[in-house]
Chain A
């Protein structure tokens, strides 16, 4: 790679190249139709075409490539969850991120800098011990640390000793990190389209045609196509798309708000998160401080922002790093999260024979991009749901086999 880059740089004429070909015309029929051209859908397309040899695949995207929640998350990657099922699943995701740049030949800027979650109460510390023991049992790098270690890991942090939000300890997760979300989606899209997967942007699904308990056709604004298998991975619109297929999902939509400050000199080389303050901070490689965690207090399917939530995020950030008080905000945004009753995704089979679900991604979707894509592709290619996905089946709600995943995030839920 470096030599080819050097040769390319020394060449007199630079041929322009695009990673993703322009949207072609729709064919009449595809083996697999993936609804949703975000990270999850593209990862599934990549694994279908590059691993399972299924290339007659169409990815349908209503807007532009990876422009929904793939572009709106705050890029945290970690596996420090509470239940065995979740840790096993997310650990596989972290491991796929570790080799992703090499595997894809595409720099996804994975930076495994570690995540520190702060406890401001004894109760939080107790839950950290639970998560740490489960994580160690499952083979992830995780430990409960004391205040002194917190200070060493993050010297600029305001420990507020004796104050309202006194830091009593932390949960140090050395496997945690960030990656560039756009690059993850583009890397998958590039390799999928190189193997013949068609990526159809501005192609909105408007309905389905059934025959018994199977879907036969997908209707879009650009025409109707026949589909062998269908995968749904549409971020904040899962409830609506599933309803068109006649499937009800236990999902409620809430916006999650985030923002970034102007670039500062590097001062924060880890991810810091506080469950009590509902805030997390990370400094991007450009120096901007990304502040996230503001979940709206009521249901909404809009990506508008509110001053209330931004003030709440700023308040949490200033508790932890008071010296940020003169820093200006550059950008702010919101994304729609699909909250499930047990803070866990819904993956695998649906009531229809050839319709597969990859949804229920509340605040935990980006970190699962590679593993969800890999395992959903395996599901579609083999017709069998792999063991790692079985606990996330939609039918768990009918049998009260919920996952009780409360290690979800610092977001307020």
Chain B
């Protein structure tokens, strides 16, 4: 069982969470960034910031996860990144 720490509910089984994809640098609301936002998602070898949702409590959060080691380095609520 892999654990992901929900900022509200503490460590939970990762199967309780829904993956919502990478935090995108490009915005679909900027016309010149539209193609980038639609098709060219982040896919690094390394730490990636991504959206997750704890489904039972509907808590949307951000996780920083390493895409090679699958290690979760930090989780926090949006706009509340710890210092």
Binding site for B on A (CB under 8 A): 239-240, 248-253, 297-302, 304, 306-308, 341, 397-398
B68 near A302 with CB under 8 A, answer yes
Distance between Cα atoms of A309 and B35 in the complex (Å)? 32
Distance between Cα atoms of A262 and B42 in the complex (Å)? 39
A-B contact pairs, 14 of them (CB 8 A): A250-B40, A297-B19, A299-B19, A299-B43, A300-B68, A300-B70, A301-B67, A301-B68, A302-B70, A306-B2, A308-B2, A341-B39, A397-B40, A398-B35
Distance between Cα atoms of A306 and B19 in the complex (Å)? 16
Instruction: Give the chain B neighbours of A252 by CB distance below 8 A.
Output: 41, 43
B41 near A301 with CB under 8 A, answer no
* B27 located at the interface, meaning its Cβ lies under 8 Å from any Cβ of chain A in the complex: no
Instruction: Give the chain B neighbours of A300 by CB distance below 8 A.
Output: 67-68, 70
Binding site for A on B (CB under 8 A): 1-2, 14-15, 18-19, 21-22, 35, 38-41, 43, 45, 48, 50, 67-70
Q: Tell me how far the C-beta of B42 lies from the nearest C-beta in chain A, rounded to whole angstroms.
A: 8
The 3 residue pairs across chains A and B that have the minimum distance between CB atoms:
A298-B19, A250-B39, A397-B39
Q: Which residue of A lies closest to B15 (CB)?
A: A308
Q: Tell me how far the C-beta of A362 lies from the nearest C-beta in chain B, rounded to whole angstroms.
A: 13
Instruction: Give the chain A neighbours of B2 by CB distance below 8 A.
Output: 306, 308
Instruction: Give the chain A neighbours of B35 by CB distance below 8 A.
Output: 397-398
Distance between Cα atoms of A300 and B63 in the complex (Å)? 14
Distance between Cα atoms of A251 and B50 in the complex (Å)? 16
Known A300-B70, A301-B67; judge A250-B41 contact (CB<8 A): yes
Distance between Cα atoms of A308 and B17 in the complex (Å)? 13
A251 near B70 with CB under 8 A, answer no
Q: Tell me how far the C-beta of A311 lies from the nearest C-beta in chain B, rounded to whole angstroms.
A: 10
By secondary structure, the A interface counts as loop
Q: Tell me how far the C-beta of B80 lies from the nearest C-beta in chain A, rounded to whole angstroms.
A: 22
Instruction: Give the chain A neighbours of B68 by CB distance below 8 A.
Output: 300-302
B43 near A251 with CB under 8 A, answer yes
Distance between Cα atoms of A60 and B13 in the complex (Å)? 42
Distance between Cα atoms of A145 and B22 in the complex (Å)? 41
Given contacts A299-B50, A302-B68, 9 further A-B contacts (CB under 8 A): A248-B40, A249-B40, A252-B43, A253-B67, A299-B19, A299-B21, A299-B48, A300-B70, A301-B45
Q: Which residue of A lies closest to B19 (CB)?
A: A298
Q: Which residue of B lies closest to A307 (CB)?
A: B1
B45 near A240 with CB under 8 A, answer yes
Name B43's contact: one of A253, A304, A306 (CB within 8 Å). Answer: A253
Q: Tell me how far the C-beta of A345 lies from the nearest C-beta in chain B, rounded to whole angstroms.
A: 15
Instruction: Give the chain A neighbours of B39 by CB distance below 8 A.
Output: 250, 341, 397
Instruction: Give the chain B neighbours of A240 by CB distance below 8 A.
Output: 45
Q: Tell me how far the C-beta of B25 lies from the nearest C-beta in chain A, rounded to whole angstroms.
A: 12
Distance between Cα atoms of A239 and B68 in the complex (Å)? 14
Instruction: Give the chain A neighbours of B21 by CB distance below 8 A.
Output: 299
Instruction: Give the chain A neighbours of B48 by CB distance below 8 A.
Output: 299
A341 near B38 with CB under 8 A, answer yes
Instruction: Give the chain A neighbours of B40 by CB distance below 8 A.
Output: 248-250, 397
Q: Tell me how far the C-beta of A307 lies from the nearest C-beta in chain B, rounded to whole angstroms.
A: 8
Instruction: Give the chain B neighbours of A306 by CB distance below 8 A.
Output: 2
Q: Tell me how far the C-beta of B65 lies from the nearest C-beta in chain A, rounded to whole angstroms.
A: 8
Distance between Cα atoms of A301 and B15 in the complex (Å)? 19
Known A301-B68, A304-B70; judge A239-B43 contact (CB<8 A): yes
Instruction: Give the chain B neighbours of A297 by CB distance below 8 A.
Output: 18-19
Distance between Cα atoms of A398 and B35 in the complex (Å)? 6
Q: Tell me how far the C-beta of B34 lies from the nearest C-beta in chain A, rounded to whole angstroms.
A: 10
Instruction: Give the chain A neighbours of B14 by CB distance below 8 A.
Output: 308
Q: Tell me how far the C-beta of A231 lies from the nearest C-beta in chain B, rounded to whole angstroms.
A: 21
